[in-house]
Structure 1
């Protein structure tokens, strides 16, 4: 995997080396940290007790003429609530390509694997998807890191296709733009060796609440692939469908904060049936160009912990 990453994403591998140097940790430790999903679900001869039920994140889209919102629950280890961080980066590589982005990060991980936005006006959040693990393909975390440089949906598709390397595990990226707000996109990616399998679902602007709303949890919804749906993901999805169709940001926060199902709630907390939790909730308001992060349950009206004004500079 290291050899392939050297060929596939050498400058992002340098970012891992820089993190290791700054943290005073072995490079191998942080490189392995970027491969946790692959290790858990396929590459380890003695995998930890991780299953598709441990996958997380829930996303709600609204694309109405007057409300364009993508809300996202970032689910993971509860420790990330206090150890996670947001970086605002400007990077100019040796090739002269400049990257500017703001991204929520897990400790010791690459940006891009959770949620954030860039100076092209593109916004992203990621849902884990259960599927096969391909050992001879590109690392998913590095592919997601590369997506942060995309300036449009066509570039997103090109990056996640990762021609020549493919991708090792599957994921879904929820995509929007503050430049072209007419469409939002759900990008599902399935593993393959030479080129990833990619499906893009377009959520178009509509006055019809049913047509302007979309949900995505941890299952493939529009890519034709045979995988078993996780019970936890299915429970969150069905609960979201049972609630009134959201027409405003407050409705989205109420759905993402719902705890009606005490075994598999949408807003997750550590409990006997769940070792993971909702680390935080992100709300992207594309019309008002704002990105808010809620540390507590977003339905409580306590307000966001962090607020970012998204600007397009290119």
Structure 2
């Protein structure tokens, strides 16, 4: 297990920032910014694992953690990205299942239905937001979970869906995260129906205090991913995704050939 230094409440929240845009119409796609404290930049890995079932998964992983607290996909064509939803103290259940164990289990899902079963648990320690895609069923869903067996499932359709680090559709008391509020407001002003529009949004820095694409000094966008469900490709961009040079630094995975 990783060693965790003592941090204030705000510092813990600030370390868990991510932004997602999903759409499922003529374009079925998911874009995700993986944001974290700059201190982890040299401690990130892509883990590829073969399982005894002859399946395999690939997951973005921080040193010392289970895969994955960020995003991953498997040879069944099921994958996910994650958004932390920082809880109020009375929402945390001591002795419950930690969210990293849930996402590790999610990496072995054989289909969307199994993935939903993985995250809809009654004995969670704390909630999370899961953006799950299944290339075989051509579906993308956002699942928001909380302790004590609460969850809400939203199937993504033709209306673009933006998610930061606050609950969107599960009715729950929550932290009013200023960064999320700012990012939601900015995303609402931007078009997000095409690949270029979504990647431009994920690369946006217009809000100087709380930008969608983070460049320090404390928080940094480690990478951006683009999932094209119909093309069955997942692309990782190490640089700003709105840049015309983005494809030069892209790492592309075939979601059907692990």
Does TM, scored on the shorter chain, surpass 0.5? yes
- TM-score for the superposition, normalised by structure 1: 0.75
CA distance in 2, matches of 1:230, 1:200: 22
CA distance in 2, matches of 1:81, 1:55: 14
Match of 1:201 in 2: 154
Please state if 1:106 is matched with 2:67: no
Match of 1:258 in 2: 204
Q: How does 1:1-314 map to 2 (within 5 A)?
A: 31-33=1-3, 47-51=6-10, 52-65=13-26, 67-92=27-52, 97-131=53-87, 132-163=91-122, 166-181=123-138, 183-192=139-148, 196-204=149-157, 206=158, 211=159, 213-244=160-191, 246-271=192-217, 275-302=218-245, 303=247, 304-311=249-256
* Most deviating of 215-224 and 78-87: 78-87
Q: Secondary structure at the match of 1:259?
A: coil
Match of 1:14 in 2: none
Structure 1: which 5+ residue stretches go unaligned? 1-30, 41-46
After superposition, the C-alpha distances for 1:276-314 in whole angstroms (9 at most, x for unaligned) are 21111111111111111111111112224311111078x
After superposition, the C-alpha distances for 1:148-202 in whole angstroms (9 at most, x for unaligned) are 1112232222212335xx1112210101111111x3100111123xxx3221101
Contact 1:75 1:276 in 2 (8 A): yes
CA distance in 1, matches of 2:175, 2:41: 30
CA distance in 2, matches of 1:106, 1:88: 13
CA distance in 2, matches of 1:136, 1:226: 21
CA distance in 2, matches of 1:167, 1:88: 27
Structure 2: which 5+ residue stretches go unaligned? none
Q: Secondary structure at the match of 1:149?
A: coil
Change (3 A) 1:291 1:234: same
After superposition, the C-alpha distances for 1:91-134 in whole angstroms (9 at most, x for unaligned) are 11xxxx45411111111211122112111111200000011322
- TM-score for the superposition, normalised by structure 2: 0.91
CA distance in 2, matches of 1:253, 1:137: 37
Alignment length (residue pairs): 251
Q: Secondary structure at the match of 2:206?
A: coil
Contact 1:81 1:295 in 2 (8 A): no
More strand by share: 2
Runs of 4 or more consecutive aligned structure 1 residues displaced over 6 Å after TM superposition: none
